[in-house]
Chains A and B, each alone.
Chain A
Amino acid sequence: MKKFPFWAWFWVVLGVLYLFLPLYGTLDFSLRMVRDQLSFAAYEVVLRDPKFAATFSYSFIMALWTILASTLLIVPTAYWVHLKLPQLRPLVELVTLLVFVVPAIVLVFGLLRIYSRPPLALTNSDLGADILLVAGYVCLSFPYMYRAVDTGLRAIDVRTLTEAAQSLGANWLTILLRVVLPNLRVAVLSGAFLTFAIVIGEYTLSVYLARPAFGPYMQLLGRTRAYEPAALAIMSLTLTWTCVGIIQLLGRGVPGQGQLAGTR
């Protein structure tokens, strides 16, 4: 008879407790706004606050622009590097990882220093500041989006597919739009959802660019209220996990792409 793997289960249970006990604590706390009973009162207060809807929808729209911009920037770049400049791949990877080295605070002060004076005084208008914010978010999303797209490209033998399309008379734009991008759907979507999750909770860039985003709202709430920030943290976490769940589902549903791009 096979011996029960006691130590394996011990470490698994310990890991789960380590991760989930704080979450459980937060969840429990968020439900105790009304004395001596469990309720969703804190959640109701948060959802009724007009600033919640305003800041969340603002961050949502910024996230969509970020995803669009990073897709347009990263997909052709990663494709070209794979196809024509494979020797540059380590360098491009290094560039995309720079955001882990350069803190967001340094990034935002750099942006403010350059774009708050002529000739490109973008911080003087809402539109300009939004553009700067999206640009900053694109930088923050680099490692996630690039890795997802890069893994997707490795999975589809992009060189041979490109050559096959070329021999059939297709130009570069046709190849990119009809052959490469559709086959990177899962990779781009997984990168997009990770970007979405990052942008929704981002604080530093939006606060220093004085934008009405969801991150600063959560921070403000945390300083002035007790139960509502806990409720907001649980909601934010649920949103992120939903995004990850959608990525997993998409990864399973695409023919020939059994694994989730970006997680191989």
Chain B
Amino acid sequence: MAFLELDNVSKSFGQVEAVQNFNLQAERGEFVSFLGPSGCGKTTTLRMIAGFELPTAGTILISGNDVTFKPPQKRNTGMVFQAYALFPNMTVADNIGFGLKVAKKPSAEIKKRVAEMLALIKMEKFGDRYPYQLSGGQQQRVALARAIAIQPQVLLLDEPLSALDAKIRVALRQEIRAIQRELGITTVYVTHDQEEALSLSDRVVVMNNGCIEQVGTPFEIYNFPQTEFTAQFVGTLNRIGATVRDVANGELLIDSQRIVTAQKLEGVSNGTAVTLSIRPERISFAADGRKPNGLNVRVENITFLGSIVRVQVRAGDNVFLMDTFNNPFLKLPDIGDVVEITFSKEAVLVLKHA
């Protein structure tokens, strides 16, 4: 039986259906991320797990107990907010010990636990400081320590890194993951940042318009998107218009040039217009001779992005991107050159909703 279970959970605000028939089963110690654009219902779902919103329909179970209508203070969930939400009138130590004081734990136990938490977040010397004396990253680490000090059954994080700058965000997300692994807390993480979701999670729930688009491991979500939305939202994706040439052999035409897909073509016939998706990093310059999928394209733009170089090319009406590793000894084509590019037949996906 799953440790955290959401069964057909829905939430409406008046006429607006914020979350529709949300189903999820998370195992004990699992790290699950809700990924989606603003307004997709991910934070509402998290708030329903925390008890700040009541579902219009469905049930929420934690460790087999129905908590759907329990008040937040009786759910034993720890919550970390985007805005830190540290109590400004309390020191770091008092903030961390707040939940334990409320639970009327003995003062010796509180002191010990606070010291453990400060050590865990590597802020042993900051116990007497006030939140306004800390940086954003430090405040969020304190908020994390405060949430896990009460040993919650489920840890909920609502875009905790959004207010931080890029470098601190990367460092802190690794810290969050390390702490979560060490303590084995079942964690739900809300983010609109795909890199965060993919790098942190055991499983990612991609959401759009209040519905689940796809649930899977980061590998599955990125490499095998099942819906057009997932394919577009996660990573950079080329959408290329094509025509089916031979259904049986998986042959397609892009700008009258023949390519092949490994995907079985279903529900289409020869001559049908379809949309293909190919990740930029799956495309490369053809070194010598024709490859299974070779396309002649015109180079329109070249952008240097540090470790990679992004090349924009055109084939007929289709403009798409290809990423190649930055190699200082490799001669790149000039803008306006016609070059041959190649990609494997496995890289070509025909989108479900093409």
Contact = CB atoms under 8 A, between A and B. Distances in A.
A167 B83 contact: no
Given A157-B85, A169-B99, A163 B72 contact: yes
A256 B131 contact: yes
Interface stretch (B73-81, B116-124, B222-230, B288-296): B73-81
A156 interface: yes
B141 interface: no
A169 B72 CA distance: 7
A145 B131 CA distance: 27
A164 B85 contact: yes
A171 interface: yes
Contact of B79 (A156, A167, A185): A167
Nearest to B133: A255
A163 B88 contact: no
Interface centre among A156, A161, A168, A174 (most CB of B within 10 A): A168
A169 B130 contact: no
A179 interface: yes
Contact of B85 (A161, A169, A171): A161
Contacts of A157: 83, 85
A171 B101 CA distance: 12
B73 A255 contact: no
Contact of B83 (A160, A166, A168, A174): A160
Given A160-B81, A255-B130, A256-B132, A168 B98 contact: yes
B162 to A, nearest CB: 14
Contact of B71 (A164, A166, A168): A166
A168 B99 contact: yes
A126 B48 CA distance: 54
A156 B88 contact: yes
A179 B98 CA distance: 10
Contact of A160 (B85, B130, B146, B150): B85
B89 A170 contact: no
Contacts of B87: 161, 164-165, 178-179, 183
B83 A163 contact: no
A167 B72 contact: yes
B320 interface: no
Nearest to B149: A168
A164 B131 CA distance: 15
Contacts of B146: 164, 168
Interface string A245-264: 00000000001110000000
Contacts of B74: 169
B171 interface: no
Nearest to B50: A167
B3 interface: no
Q: How large is the interface on B (under 10, 10 to 19, 20 to 34, 35 or more residues)?
A: 20 to 34
B330 to A, nearest CB: 51
A257 to B, nearest CB: 8
B147 interface: yes
Interface string A172-185: 00100011001101
Contacts of A163: 50, 52, 72, 79, 81, 85
Given A157-B85, A163-B85, A182-B89, A170 B77 contact: no
Contacts of B1: none
A13 B146 CA distance: 55
B108 interface: no
A165 B98 contact: yes
A167 B70 CA distance: 12
Contacts of B99: 168-170
A170 B85 contact: no
B287 interface: no
Nearest to B74: A169
A219 to B, nearest CB: 43
B77 A167 contact: yes
Contacts of B150: 168-169
Interface in B78-102: 78-79, 81, 83, 85-89, 98-99, 102
Contacts of A183: 87-89
Nearest to B156: A167
B81 A170 contact: no
A170 B73 contact: yes
B103 A169 contact: yes
Nearest to B77: A167
Contacts of B83: 157, 160
Interface in A176-206: 178-179, 182-183, 185
Given A167-B77, A168-B102, 17 more contacts: A160-B81, A161-B85, A163-B52, A164-B87, A165-B102, A166-B52, A166-B72, A167-B72, A167-B78, A167-B156, A169-B73, A169-B102, A169-B150, A170-B99, A183-B89, A256-B132, A257-B88
22 contacts: A163-B50, A163-B81, A164-B79, A164-B81, A164-B87, A165-B87, A165-B102, A166-B52, A167-B50, A167-B77, A168-B147, A169-B73, A169-B103, A169-B150, A170-B99, A174-B102, A178-B98, A182-B89, A185-B89, A255-B88, A255-B132, A255-B133
Interface of B: 50-52, 71-79, 81, 83, 85-89, 98-99, 102-103, 130-133, 143, 146-147, 150, 156
Interface of A: 156-157, 160-161, 163-171, 174, 178-179, 182-183, 185, 255-257
